[in-house]
Amino acid sequence: MMTDKEDDQDHVEVDDLLTFELPPYRLPGQDLLTKQILKMQTTTDLLAVPKGTYATADSEWKDGRSDVLSVPPLGIQNSLPPILIEVQKTVHEPFMQRLIDYARNVYKTYKSYPIPFTVMVTKFKAMGDDHNCFHSIICCDFWAKSCHLISKTTMATTEVDGNLRSLHALSLFLISTLYGHTYANDPTIQRLYHIAKGCLENHARQESNFAESIDVICSKQRKNFPEN
C-alpha cells in the first residue's frame, strides 16, 4: 500500500518532469540522447519480460555500426532472437540496405536471425512519399526473423486499452514530447523521461566538472607566466 508521503513524492516527480525541458540538441529521436538511453540496462529491462532477459551487446561491424543490439544470455540464445533497434529520421532505400547488412552481421555472430525494429522519426521514403508507413515488412526471409517499422502513422492506428506495451511506449517516447502527450500518465513513458532527465543532468555535471578543471589549469598557467 502506498503511503501519503510516497504518493506526494510521485506527484512531485511527475510535476518536475512536466516542467523539465530537453534542449533541442538532446530531444528524443536524436542520436546524442537516443543511443545513450537505449543502451542503458534500465531501458533494456523496461522492454524485456522478465528483467534481465536481454542485455546490450557490441553493435560495431566492419561495414558499419547499428544503433542498439540486445541479445539474451548465452544459455537461452537458441530460443530468443537478438533485437536490433534503429532510430532513423527518414527511412529510404540506402538505410534499408544497411539494415539488411546489420541483420546479416548479427546472424553471422549469433547464428540466429534478429528482429529489427526501426523507429521513423519523420517519414518513410523507400517507396516514395505517397506510400503509407507500415507495421512490418512482409518478406524478410534469410536476413531477419521479422522486421518492423514504427512511425507516428503506425502509432495512430494502434488501439491501446490500459497501459502501453513497453515497445509502444518507447516508440511514442522517441517521436513525441511529454507535455501534452496523450499518454503522459503512462508509467513506462514517465520512466523513460526520468531516464532522459537523468542522462541530461549527468551530462551537465560532466560538462561543469570539465569546465572547472580547465579553469584550474588556466589559472595555474597564468601564475607560471605572469603578465609583464
Q: Average pLDDT, whole number, for the chain?
A: 75
Q: How many residues does the chain have?
A: 228
Q: Tell me the per-residue pLDDT of 160-218, one tens digit each, with 9 for 90 and over.
A: 666 677 777 887 777 765 556 677 778 888 888 888 888 777 766 776 776 777 777 77
Please say if the pLDDT value at position 4 is more than 50: no
pLDDT band at 9 (very low <50, low <70, confident <90, very high): very low
Report the alpha-carbon distance of residue 145 to residue 29 in Å, rounded. Answer: 25
Provide the whole-model pTM: 0.70
Give residue limits of the domains in the chain: 4-199
Residue 134: predicted pLDDT: 44
Contacts of 23 (CB under 8 A, 6+ apart): 200
| Cβ atoms 227, 212 nearer than 8 A | no
